[in-house]
Structure 1
């Protein structure tokens, strides 16, 4: 089975999870989704994504994000994995039930197929609440996941950049309040 088909199947499984369910996955799913060279010249950096999210809020004010980020098309071309991580309400504190998932992410990142690559850890929220607040909360949550990966699971911090995008890149724009929009992406950005 090709890794693109596997990625699509994983996405379908993640989209069909009941609200509040912790994602069940294995290390090989993550490895298969992230292995491979990123698109050449993709131009995606943590700093650029942060700036585009802030610019999007300033340029298109309002309760809900209505426009995709300029880098959205480039992000979609990169090898990535989406996973649900459960946090305490309105907090960046990772719930204990999510540490197994973070451990599987770390196991994958320690695999020889992925050791040469750098990754973005991107936090997303749904559209409930203020957009700027959601952006800040998602950044804190992305930082928490990066910190757990680097401290608890000993992933080299030089390989991970944390970015919070809030609600600026909804997975399901038709239902901006849906649980599926609250997720973490791990994106391979190359060497």
Structure 2
């Protein structure tokens, strides 16, 4: 009986002391969707989204699960929040863009530049000493090693674009590649939605 009570006590202690892992919330923009720089700054800087005085107020964005984001076929212009309900963008921990590159290349296609330009405007709203991590992700087509290297190179290409075209200090932008190891929840590993670049405040 003593052994049973001791085991039960240890199990209860472990349950209460083990930190609860929360699902990460990611603001997911679809291709061609307008990126709001103040929302980007709110997520990356963990500050409240403050709109510029000359801006017209925007309607609150709706956020849905990442599975719905992967399967969405609408032309809605609001970003999707993985694992979220209708919450403010500041509740997200990262911003995901479907940055398009030339096939088997790190050349950023012109279609991706509008979103990257708006993201750069959001980074410029952050404190001058803030750091942003640029994460490269791929789908599962190809070998693990190939995808890992491709994701690293594409993250660097995005960093270089932000430095060269927007004057953001390179020391403020860290890069990392995850290859195919972190697909969007609910999406097939080979789905195109997994080919993305994510940004998070460091």
Give every structure 1 segment of 4 or more consecutive aligned residues whose post-TM-superposition deviation is greater than 6 Å: none
Q: RMSD over aligned Cα, in angstroms?
A: 2.4
Q: Tell me if 1:102 matches 2:112.
A: no
- CA–CA separation in structure 1 for the residues paired with 2:151 and 2:32: 18
- Looking at structure 1, the residues matched to 144 and 185 of structure 2 have their Cα atoms a distance apart, in angstroms, of 16
Matches within 5 A, 1:85-96: 85-96=99-110
Residues 29 and 139 (structure 1 numbering): CA distance in 2 closer, same or farther, change over 3 Å? same
Number of equivalences: 136
Q: Which residue of 2 aligns with 1:22?
A: 32
Correspondences of 1:35-46 after superposition (within 5 Å): 35-36=45-46
Q: Any gaps of 5 or more consecutive residues in structure 2?
A: 1-23, 48-90
**Equivalent pair of 1:22/1:85 in contact (CA under 8 Å):** no
Q: Which is higher, the Rg of structure 1 or of structure 2?
A: 2
1:149 Cα shift?
0.5
CA contact (8 A) 2:134 2:198 kept: yes
TM-score w.r.t. the length of structure 2 is 0.61
Provide the C-alpha distance between the structure 2 equivalents of 1:174 and 1:151, rounded to a whole number of angstroms.
Answer: 33
In structure 1, C-alpha distance between the alignment counterparts of 2:152 and 2:33, rounded to whole Å: 21
After superposition, the C-alpha distances for 1:118-163 in whole angstroms (9 at most, x for unaligned) are: 1110000000111100011111100100000111110011101111
Shift, 1:9, TM fit: 8.8
Deviations 1:3-48, CA, capped at 9 Å, x for gaps: xxxx96943xx3xx4xxx33432212211221228xxxxxxxxxxx
Give the TM-score of the pair, scaled to structure 1: 0.64
Is contact 1:78-1:187 (8 Å) kept? no
